[in-house]
Every structure is written in C-alpha cells, then in structure tokens.
Amino acid sequence: MLERYRGQLARRGFTWWPWRERSSDELVGLVGLNAAEVEGKPAVEVGWSIVPTRWGEGLATEAARASLDWGFERCALDEVVSFTMVDNERSRRVMEKLGLEYVRDFDHLGLPHVLYRARRPLGQVRET
Ligand SMILES: CC(C)(COP(=O)(O)OP(=O)(O)OC[C@H]1O[C@@H](n2cnc3c(N)ncnc32)[C@H](O)[C@@H]1OP(=O)(O)O)[C@@H](O)C(=O)NCCC(=O)NCCS
C-alpha cells in the first residue's frame, strides 16, 4: 500500500499521507489527496481515516485542511472533491468544518454517497 502511495506522490505530487502527532510521534491516521473517479470522471479527492482512539480531537479536519492547502498551492489543482456514505455523519461533519460545498447525492460502488467539493481559493495565484 505504502509503495502505491509513494508512487502517486512521485507522479502527481500528492498522496494519502500517514500522520504522526508531533508531541508523541504516535501514528494517528491516514489523510490526504488521491486520484479517484467520480461517476466515471477523473477527480482528486481529499479523504481521511483516524485511529478510533483519537476521534473527536479535530485531527481529521486539521490534516485535511493542510492537505487541501498542499493541493491548491503546491499542485496547482483547481478542484478537490470529497465523498462519503450518506450516513457517515462524522465524515460529513469534517467536510462541513472544512467549508466544502455540497454538490449532490450520487451512487458510488452501488452505495448511496454524498459529493462535496472545494475550489481553488479566489485570488490564489496558480504556480505552474
Ligand atoms: C471520519 C473521521 C476521519 C473523523 O475523524 P476525527 O478526527 O474524529 O474528525 P474531527 O474531530 O476533525 O471532526 C469530527 C466531527 O464530527 C462530529 N461528530 C462525531 N460524531 C458525530 C455524529 N454521530 N454525528 C454528527 N457529527 C458527529 C464531532 O463532534 C466533530 O465535530 P465538531 O468539531 O463540530 O464537534 C473518523 O471518524 C474515522 O476515521 N472514521 C472511520 C473512517 C471513515 O469513515 N473515513 C471516511 C471515509 S469517506
């Protein structure tokens, strides 16, 4: 898995990153950007998974915000999407705290999902 993530980082400049807490060096989750497909079209998604013992501390939101900044500032992305199962309330709350915009409900792998997106912040210069 890590080999695949490293390969994506080398090719595209982003990936799923393992996150460690600075003070303890403890691995707290996997959060980042990933080349995905939404309804058959290529997209870059931001996603998160935090170890259950550390839920509710704001870690997913903090790491996702840093990942989005990385994508817009260093990878010159115009749009990043995020999706989750309709009933994944925690994940949807992270999307809302990040200020992502709800786009629509859609089917992903035959299951009901919600689609959100973030666009490059206005006024941010595109470094190419
Ligand atoms: C989704 C997940 C990454 C969130 O991680 P986290 O570090 O706990 O997220 P944060 O602390 O940044 O934010 C969670 C928010 O959800 C809220 N929340 C918790 N349980 C909730 C519930 N049942 N309904 C609604 N909101 C809920 C928290 O209160 C918090 O919001 P707040 O800051 O306004 O209080 C974590 O639960 C996880 O790893 N889940 C399993 C993997 C997963 O589902 N990944 C997403 C797949 S698309």
pLDDT confidence of residue 49: 98
> How many CB atoms within 10 Å of residue 92?
18
For residue 40, what is the DSSP state?
T
Instruction: Please write the tens of the pLDDT for every residue from 2-38.
Output: 899 999 999 999 999 999 999 999 999 999 999 999 9
Least confident of 3-7, 113-117, 120-124: 120-124
Contact 31, 17 (CB under 8 A): yes
What average pLDDT does range 81-85 have in this prediction?
98
Q: At 107, is the pLDDT very low, low, confident or very high (cuts 50, 70, 90)?
A: very high
pLDDT at 56 over 80: yes
What average pLDDT does range 97-106 have in this prediction?
98
pLDDT at 128 over 90: no
Residues with CB under 6 A from ligand 1: 47-50, 55-61, 84, 88-91, 93-94, 97
pLDDT confidence of residue 45: 98
For residue 120, what is the DSSP state?
P
Instruction: Please write the tens of the pLDDT for every residue from 70-80.
Output: 999 999 999 99
pLDDT at 123 over 80: no
Distance 82 CA to ligand 1 centre (A): 14
For ligand 1, atom 45, name the residue with the nearest CA: 49
For ligand 1, atom 10, name the residue with the nearest CA: 58
Q: Which of 128, 49, 56 is nearest to 82 (CA)?
A: 49
Q: What kind of fold does domain 2-119 have according to CATH? A: Aminopeptidase (3.40.630)
> Domain residue spans in the chain?
2-119
Query: Measured from the CA of 90, which atom of ligand 1 is nearest?
Result: 16
pLDDT confidence of residue 121: 83
